[in-house]
């Protein structure tokens, strides 16, 4: 699978944990959760829960993990979920989920880098649509969707429940067929 790197940043597909990868990924996850961008988590879970979660991600055949590194350390990630084998009718689309960067690692174009690597890989594998959703409170994700020319196709007023209040969510997609023809 493709990857992207420059002198102090790198985007890569992670298939196994090496060295401090798991610890760095858990640290970045904790920081994103505290910042309010924890892809569904509202409170930092116990470390063992996070470690088990990330180990599990690498075991699920329909999940692929892309990570962003800054100066060698993992500072964010996203997952691509491929359609289940029994979903022949939906086999044309990939869904991106659990996208985050540690707050201190933002501003290095890592979000756009991860998104580009995922979209390029989806296109190379023949997928025709790339989808994701984001809470209305996650401005960086919304800006990224607009920057990467994703189309807003739906809004859900009761997308998430945060501190007893409903928060809206936005659903985005990118038609990979259209781009391939341009």
CATH number of the domain to which 70 belongs: 3.40.630.30
Residue 146: which H helix or E strand, with range?
helix 139-147
Buried b (16+ CB within 10 A) or exposed e, 29-53: bbbbbebebbbebeebbeeeebbee
Confidence of residue 2 (pLDDT cuts 50, 70, 90): very low
CB proximity list for 70: less than 8 A, separation 6 or greater: 8, 9, 105, 108, 110
- Residue 53, both tokens: 């979660």
Q: What is the mean pLDDT of residues 157-168?
A: 94
- Residue 34: is its pLDDT beyond 50? yes
Residue 166: which H helix or E strand, with range?
strand 165-175
Provide the residue range defining the domain that includes 75: 4-181
Confidence of residue 141 (pLDDT cuts 50, 70, 90): confident
Residue found under tokens 């196994």? 16
Distances from the Cα of 15 to the Cα of 18, 63, 65, 173, angstroms: 10, 10, 7, 26
pTM of the model: 0.90
Share of the chain above pLDDT 90, in %: 82
Residue 64, judged by CB atoms within 10 A of its CB (0-12, 13-18, 19+), counts as: buried
Q: What is the count of structural domains for the chain? A: 1
Confidence of residue 180 (pLDDT cuts 50, 70, 90): low
């Amino acid at each position: 699978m493709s990857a992207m790197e420059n002198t102090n940043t790198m985007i890569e597909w992670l298939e196994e944990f090496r060295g401090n990868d798991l610890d760095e990924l858990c640290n970045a996850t904790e920081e994103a959760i505290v910042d309010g961008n924890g892809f569904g988590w509202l409170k930092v879970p116990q470390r063992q829960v996070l470690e088990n979660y990330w180990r599990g991600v690498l075991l699920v055949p329909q999940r692929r993990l892309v990570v962003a590194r800054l100066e060698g350390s993992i500072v964010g990630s996203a997952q691509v979920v491929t359609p289940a084998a029994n979903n022949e009718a939906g086999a044309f689309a990939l869904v991106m989920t659990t996208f985050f960067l540690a707050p201190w690692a933002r501003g290095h174009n890592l979000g756009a880098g991860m998104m580009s690597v995922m979209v390029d890989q989806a296109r190379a594998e023949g997928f025709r649509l790339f989808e994701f959703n984001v809470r209305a409170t996650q401005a960086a994700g919304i800006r990224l969707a607009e920057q990467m020319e994703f189309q807003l196709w739906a809004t859900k007023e009761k997308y998430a429940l945060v501190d007893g209040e409903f928060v809206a969510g936005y659903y985005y997609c990118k038609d990979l067929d259209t781009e391939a023809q341009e």
